Amino acid sequence: MTPTSSSSTQQGWHALTLDNFSQTVMQAELAVVYFSAPWCQPCHQLRPAVQSFAQQHPELAYYGEVDVSASSAISQRYGIRSVPVIVIFKQGSVVAQLPGQLAVLSTLERLLHEQRHAL
C-alpha cells in the first residue's frame, strides 16, 4: 500500500515535512526521498530528472522531497550533511543513500527493483 499526501507538488511527487513524514515515508513499503535545499544549484538541476523518474515508475515506490532548510530535524535524523542526496527507505528503514547526480538514476532504478523483489 502506498500512502498518499495532500502536499503533492506534481503527480507522484510529494512535499515532505516533519508533519507528514512519519505518516507517508515511514508507512510505505518503499519510499524514495530526495533531500534538497532552495539555495542548492545542483538540487535544482537534478530535481526535474528525479521527478521524471518518479512519474515514469510510480509502481516502484512512494516519492517525496525534503527541503533541508525547512525540515532540518528530518535531515539531522538521517545524517544528511550535503545535498542533493537520495535516500531509499524500505518499510521505514534506510536501505540506501545515494549522492545526487544524474548518473545515480540508473542505480536508483536497479536498487528499487531489487528491494521490490525482496518484499
Express each pLDDT in 6-31 by its tens digit: 344 566 899 999 999 999 999 999 99
Average pLDDT (81-106) is 89
Q: What is the pTM of this model?
A: 0.82
Q: Which of 25, 28, 40, 112 is catalytic?
A: 40
Give the pLDDT score at 10: 61
**CATH code, domain with 86:** 3.40.30.10
- On whether residue 105 sits in a domain, the answer given is yes
- On whether residue 89 sits in a domain, the answer given is yes
At residue 105, does pLDDT exceed 60? Answer: yes
Average pLDDT, the chain: 87
Q: Which of 30, 33, 37, 43 is catalytic?
A: 43
What is the three-class DSSP state of 26? helix
43 is catalytic: yes
- Give the structural domain span for 108: 10-117
- On whether residue 3 sits in a domain, the answer given is no
At residue 118, does pLDDT exceed 90? Answer: no
**Which grid cell is 85?**
542526496
Inter-residue contact 29 to 2 (CB < 8 Å): yes
Measured CA to CA, the distance from residue 69 to residue 109 in angstroms comes to 27
16 is catalytic: no
Write down the H helix ranges in the chain: 18-24, 41-56, 72-77, 104-117
